[in-house]
Amino acid sequence: MTPSHWYNIVPDLPAPPPPPLHPGTMRPVGPDDLAPLFPAELIAQEVSGDRFVEIPQEVLDVYRLWRPTPLMRARRLEKALGTPARIYYKYEGVSPAGSHKPNTAVPQAYYNARQGVRRLTTETGAGQWGSALAFACAQYDLECEVWMVRASYDQKPYRRSLMRLYGATVHASPSSVTSAGSKVLAEEPGSPGSLGIAISEAVEVAGASDDTRYALGSVLNHVLMHQTVIGEEALEQLPEMPDVVIGCTGGGSNFAGLVFPFLREKLAGRISPVLRAVEPEACPSFTRGVYAYDFGDTAGFTPLLKMHTLGHDFVPDPIHAGGLRYHGMSPLLSHMYELGMFEAVATSQKECFQAGVRFARAEGIVPAPEPTHALAETIAEALRCRESGQEKVILTALCGHGHFDLAAYDRFLGGEMEDFSLPEERISAALSTLPVIRTPSP
């Protein structure tokens, strides 16, 4: 059964997360600051103290197109690994856009439509988030305008086609339709773009028009909350409770969606799983970043967020898991990590693709590069169980399929894939540009 409510973990925490700060005043950002960008209902959810938020019927009517998603036991993978562990995976790739992203794109589009918004803008890298939002906008007759990082726009045409098929307008970013984009183009006509620039363009267009708002695909509290449908369904579907829950982290929405419901049960003393986030070695915000106030974007237009960060200047190496190439981390998850509520590890790109190939050959599904991080750690855990003889129950989230990533698999199978080392100096250089937090004047 698809759940009837999203779960908001904030009121269950031992302490609330630090608030976002306005970079000018250094005071907490309030609802009014956010109103030009987000509809009232989402702003209310962002700061809500309710433990459960009812999912509107109009959202359930769209969730029904692919939810509940399958929870599968990976029996053939277990056998191939020779492990006594029992491995379960929750598969979000059955959604129309092929990932977990529509879980939040749909309610975001719905609340905007209900408030009379006519158009949504957003940025996208490889296109997972953009295609999810394009699909969601088609469901509620909203226009959708996406700024797609130029490098991906040119190299990965198929997710661009998917957005257009759903009716969205897709711009290569930097574009000449915004002043932010025009400025970059004037300085560097052949700019390959960046997520930071694309955010600036989408935010500029949303802010300039009364009937237009902006949508974000991860990081924020309400986005994480929408994703808890993943974990709620898994709790209900699992025939036995997990000893270990493993998910990949970029901005944090997939991991939070999977683990928050299990954390609620753990806080209530009903279960006691180990929870583990897996990030790329090339972008290790939990394992090598600092916990500090930083900008959410490269250009420094967003509020200051207290989070695990590698510095907003940090540009991750071009790993194929585009969805995990983010310098920061959800402030809520960062706060919880500081409270010791879950673990984090980092894996290398080759190890991840090796896990992806192993999984595809055993279970059939081709995983997107992002969830291969969780699979690599799941396989490592299962192999440790083979050594120790422990019959652990492992749960992981397969948050998307890799149908648009086969060129990357080809490179891996052809022996052409690289791993990236990340010297300490690169991280400290990026961290040296962290904003200085001044105490606000009274």
CB of 165 to a copy of itself, least distance (A): 5
Q: Which residues pair with 90 in a beta bridge?
A: 71, 397
Query: Which residue type, as a one-letter code, is found at position 314?
Result: F
CA distances to 100, 184, 257, 341, 381 from 242, rounded to whole Å, are 21, 49, 16, 16, 13
CB of 240 to a copy of itself, least distance (A): 18
Q: How far is the CB of 3 from a copy of itself (least distance, A)?
A: 19
Provide, rounded to whole angstroms, the least separation between the CB of residue 59 and a copy of itself. Answer: 13
Nearer to a copy of itself, 51 or 164 (CB): 164
Between 208 and 406, name the residue whose CB sits nearer to a copy of itself.
Answer: 406
166 in helix, strand or coil? coil
Output phi, psi for 306, to 5 deg.
-80, 115
Minimum CB separation of residue 348 from a copy of itself in Å reads 19
- 47 versus 357: smaller Cβ distance to a copy of itself: 357
**Element of type H or E holding 129:** helix 128-139
In the bound complex, what is the minimum distance in angstroms from residue 203's beta carbon to a copy of itself? 27
321 CB-near residues (< 8 Å, 6+ apart): 248, 250, 280, 349, 352, 368, 369, 370, 372, 373
The residue among 137 and 275 lying less far from a copy of itself, judged by its C-beta, is 137
CA–CA dist 226, 70 (Å, integer): 18
Which one, 45 or 378, has the nearer CB to a copy of itself? 378
Nearer to a copy of itself by Cβ, of 345 and 360: the residue is 360
Instruction: State the sign of the Cα–Cα–Cα–Cα dihedral 124, 280, 315, 285.
Output: positive
- In whole angstroms, give the CA distance from residue 309 to residue 269: 31
Using CA atoms, how far apart are residues 127 and 223, in angstroms rounded to an integer? 17
CB of 138 to a copy of itself, least distance (A): 5
Residue closer to a copy of itself (CB basis): 413 or 429: 413
Q: Are residues 53 and 224 in contact, defined by beta-carbon separation less than 8 angstroms?
A: no
Which residues of this protein are in contact with a copy of itself, per CB under 8 A? 61-62, 65-66, 72, 75-76, 94-98, 102, 135, 138-139, 157-158, 161-162, 164-167, 357, 360-366, 403-404, 406-407, 409-410, 413
